[in-house]
Amino acid sequence: MELRELSIHDQRISYRTAGEGPVLLLIHGMAGSASTWRQVMPGLSRQYTVVAPDLLGHGHSDKPVGDYSLGAFASTLRDLLVALGHQRATVVGQSLGGGVAMQFSYQYPERCERLVLVGSGGLGREVNPLLRWLSLPGSDAVLRLACAASIRNAIEAVGSLAARVGLQPAPVVAELWRSYASLADDATRRAFLRTLRAVVDPRGQAVSAANRLHLAAEAPTLIVWGDADPIIPVEHAHAAHAAIPGSRLEIFEGVGHYPHCEAPERFVAILTEFIESTVPARITVAPHHVLHSAPT
């Protein structure tokens, strides 16, 4: 699953791909990258073509000064699928990636065979207070100091000491460290803040798909959540499940914000069973996606 890249509208998009068969598009969360899926890609690629991009502003993709909205991400992913010759995909999104996945299914329903939301954003106001704080003006300077080399080196030293005595970090700790470490790069940190402020404000999540969730009923939908998620509360999973007719809900007990990292074998098994037991959506026209005015 080597890192590949291509140019879309003069912007470099990095991605990983493997396998053959129906296409799975895996969308990572904020400050993440395609590497977040490394534990599940081998299992999934035995039956499917897996495509895991680095979103713009993340990983090895370009970090332009531009649009970091959910709609812009969805458009780029559409263009990536077209460039790779894929007409449709089961779209899997984690955290921010879940919000992008929902936006993708709304903008391009004809390209979405199934929708899988993993600890997804965009389903309610509540979010970890740290993210609300980082959305405030002036947080840029504090975040730059928090990601300084001296602090990173001190944390790495503690990690190295723990490893020498046989202690290995939990998967969630390793994932959080990768996200934190990526913010040491100035361009990545600026892109992170632009992405964050596009979806979060000091009061919480500022973008909600609640009034469009009923549209997801046209495609098989799976919701996966950890009941110990400290970033986005599990109550959002139950609310989304109730709002999407026919959706499936899988709660991972004792798991946090990264079910695919914390319980990868279970994640692969549940996702595979979901795909094999559902008929992919084939939406050709979607007149109900046109906005209707309320009668006066």
Percent of the chain with pLDDT over 90: 74
Q: Which pLDDT value is given to residue 247?
A: 96
105 is known as an active-site residue? no
Distance, in Å, from the CA atom of 101 to the CA atom of 11, rounded to the nearest integer, reads 21
Amino acid identity of residue 153, one-letter, is: N
The active-site residue out of 45, 95, 135, 182 is 95
Q: In 10 A of CB 242, how many CB atoms? A: 11
Amino acid identity of residue 212, one-letter, is: R
Q: In 10 A of CB 68, how many CB atoms? A: 24
In the block, residue with structure tokens 């534990």: 39
- SS3 of the chain: helix, strand, coil, percent, to 5: 45, 20, 40
Distance, in Å, from the CA atom of 5 to the CA atom of 112, rounded to the nearest integer, reads 23
Token pair in block for residue 102: 């929902």
The active-site residue out of 45, 135, 182, 229 is 229
Which residues, 6+ apart, have CB-to-CB distance to 69 below 8 Å? 198
In the block, residue with structure tokens 């299992």: 43
Domains and CATH numbers, the chain: 3-127+207-289 (3.40.50.1820), 129-200 (no CATH)
Strand 112-118 relative to strand 221-226, pairing: parallel
The DSSP 8-state label assigned to residue 54 in this structure reads: P
pLDDT in tens, 131-158: 999 999 988 888 887 776 666 565 555 4
Integer distance in angstroms from the first to the last C-alpha of the chain? 56
Using the Cα atoms of residue 169, residue 171, residue 172 and residue 176 in order, give the sign of their dihedral. Answer: positive
Q: Which pLDDT value is given to residue 180?
A: 80
- Number of H helices and E strands in the chain, helices first, is 11, 10
Higher pLDDT, 286 or 194: 194
Inform me whether the pLDDT recorded for 260 exceeds 70: yes
Provide the pLDDT confidence category of residue 253 given band limits of 50, 70 and 90. very high
pLDDT in tens, 217-240: 789 999 999 999 999 999 999 999
Closest CA to 188 of 68, 16, 8, 10: 68
| Mean pLDDT score across all residues of the chain | 89
The active-site residue out of 28, 58, 241, 257 is 257
Token pair in block for residue 192: 């992170």
Alpha helical stretches, state H, the chain: 41-44, 70-83, 96-107, 129-134, 139-146, 149-164, 171-182, 186-199, 235-243, 259-262, 264-276
pTM here is 0.90
Distance, in Å, from the CA atom of 218 to the CA atom of 112, rounded to the nearest integer, reads 10
Which residues, 6+ apart, have CB-to-CB distance to 36 below 8 Å? 28, 29, 94, 175, 178, 258, 260, 261
Distance, in Å, from the CA atom of 112 to the CA atom of 135, rounded to the nearest integer, reads 31
Inform me whether the pLDDT recorded for 106 exceeds 70: yes
229 is known as an active-site residue? yes
Inform me whether the pLDDT recorded for 169 exceeds 80: no
